[in-house]
Amino acid sequence: MVGVRVVQAYRFALDLSPVQERAVLAHAGAARLAYNWALARVRAVLDQRAAERSYGVPDDLLTPAIGWSLPALRRAWNAAKDVVAPWWRQVSKEAFNTGLDALARALRNWSDSRSGKRAGRRVGFPRFKSRRRTVPSVRFTTGAIRIEADRKHVVLPRLGRLKLHESARKLARRLEAGTARVMSATVRRDGGRWPVAFTVEIDRTPQTPSQPNAVVGVDVGIRHLAVLSTGVLVDNPRHLVTARQQLRRLNRALSRKTGPDRRIGRRPSRRWQRASARLGRAHARVANLRRDGLHKLTTRLAREHGTVVVEDLNVAGMLRNRRLARHIADAGFAEIRRQLGYKTGWNGGRLLVADRWYPSSKTCSGCGAVKTKLALHEREYTCEVCGLVVDRDLNAARNLAALAAEFDTAGSGPVAARGADQKTRARGQVAVKREPGTATADKTGTVPPQGGTTNRPLTTAH
């Protein structure tokens, strides 16, 4: 079988000695220095050209603009590094390349956002990186990057042989078999630990779900993290709520220590640094527990079901609800959809996303009748037409699963221009879109609703 080449990351925790940790911090500091130097140079040229325009200087006589691409920034850095950083030979050249690449990406994102090429929230102009607030990170793309034969050590340029907390056998087996190629390695401090993440190009063998014809609708929520159309309820572990008492205690302990104060130039005390590290480790544990639970849930869904249907939730808008924002952020709704997007493709399935305005909770899963209003506190759905009484979330999950049949039936219709852009009425549009990476293009047609008698156009959201 012909494999599919995908880019995947393998993350392992490092066990660094004090000397090795100082070496990694030196590389991260070099990356920050190159970033700040290049950003200062770009801003100086932009400010100079803006001042000259205000004086009426013609465009052809303005100060020459400088390139924002990575090759242009690298050439400028190589010409000035002997003056800016005479110690540059003590660290790997990849450290400076890390900072310059980050700036090139930031400038491109700002330019694309300003011109309308980049969708989503507006991206601001890059800012300087602070030594205290910036997370230390360095990325290696060339040089000696390998896993030792014992699978308990890795080798990185200039840093040498580094011990791992765990075995790297999963990645080592692929490298030995020739089905993987390491593209880069990134070392980053996370909650007091130093993980190394290998970005690897892998030949993945095509997989088939255990139930290729099975369809499951997934309704995410706060009371239950996910309610499946099969009737399975996935409990919400609420890791942040569980750890709040410990986090309060650590925050109180931190507030009693002598912390940094930039206004008077005061440096933090050793006790403040230790208390801050304890607080950071507690937050990192919550994030790791959440990440582990979401990966297990999405992997199980992608491996067992051929079709997974979820909703296109406006998570950013939901976070504006100050009463539920903490619980919504703790659940990780957007992360569930992101992981399902690539895991369904890896396992030979497909992910269908219902339009944001599709009334999954207001629609009766038995007869297709749609309620005009449904309050959030109403946890049971009672249909006034057929008398069906069912849990609100289970009803929504069943409606999502029913959309898969409508999508397949509408496969011969014309291609839709876009999905619904306003709130769906009782007999409005039902939009379904397919995540990138699926085999066929989305189609649209007119089909009867599940259990109903009125035709509804099935559209594809892009």
- Provide the pLDDT for residue 192: 85
- Provide the pLDDT for residue 445: 33
- Provide the pLDDT for residue 314: 87
Q: Rounded CA gap, 151 and 438, in Å?
A: 36
Cα separation values, 142 from 20, 182, 389, 390, Å: 20, 10, 62, 58
Residue 255 is encoded by which pair of tokens? 């507030």
Catalytic site positions? 219, 311, 393
User: 121 pLDDT band (50/70/90 cuts)?
Assistant: confident
For residue 308, what are the β-bridge partners?
Answer: 216, 351
Give residue 46's region: left, alpha or beta (phi > 0; psi -120 to 50): alpha
Q: What is the pLDDT of residues 203-236, one digit of tens each?
A: 988 889 999 999 999 999 999 999 999 989 999 9
Lowest mean pLDDT among 131-135, 334-338, 458-462: 458-462
- Provide the pLDDT for residue 433: 56
Q: What is the pLDDT of residues 349-406, one digit of tens each?
A: 999 999 888 888 899 988 888 888 888 888 888 888 888 889 889 999 999 999 888 8
Lowest mean pLDDT among 19-28, 37-46, 312-321: 312-321
Whether residue 418 has pLDDT greater than 60:
no
Cβ atoms of 168 and 185 within 8 Å: the answer is: no
Whether residue 425 has pLDDT greater than 50:
no
Q: What is the pLDDT of residues 71-101, one digit of tens each?
A: 999 999 999 999 999 999 999 999 999 999 9
Picking from 220, 219, 222, 224, the residue whose alpha carbon sits closest to that of residue 325 is 222
User: 460 pLDDT band (50/70/90 cuts)?
Assistant: very low
- Give the rounded percent of residues in the chain with a pLDDT score beyond 70: 88
Sign of CA dihedral 32, 35, 38, 40: negative
Residue 165 DSSP class: S
Cα 48 vs. chain centroid, distance in angstroms? 37
Whether residue 1 has pLDDT greater than 90:
no
Residue ranges of domains in the chain: 4-18+136-204, 26-115, 212-236+279-459
- In degrees, to the nearest 5, what angle opens at C-alpha 30 toward C-alphas 167 and 42? 130
Residue 397 is encoded by which pair of tokens? 């999950």
Predicted TM-score (pTM) of this structure:
0.81
State in Å, rounded, how far the first CA of the chain is from the last one.
32
Q: What is the pLDDT of residues 6-15, one digit of tens each?
A: 899 999 999 9
Cβ atoms of 392 and 380 within 8 Å: the answer is: yes
Whether residue 48 has pLDDT greater than 70:
yes
CB atoms within 10 A of CB 194: 19
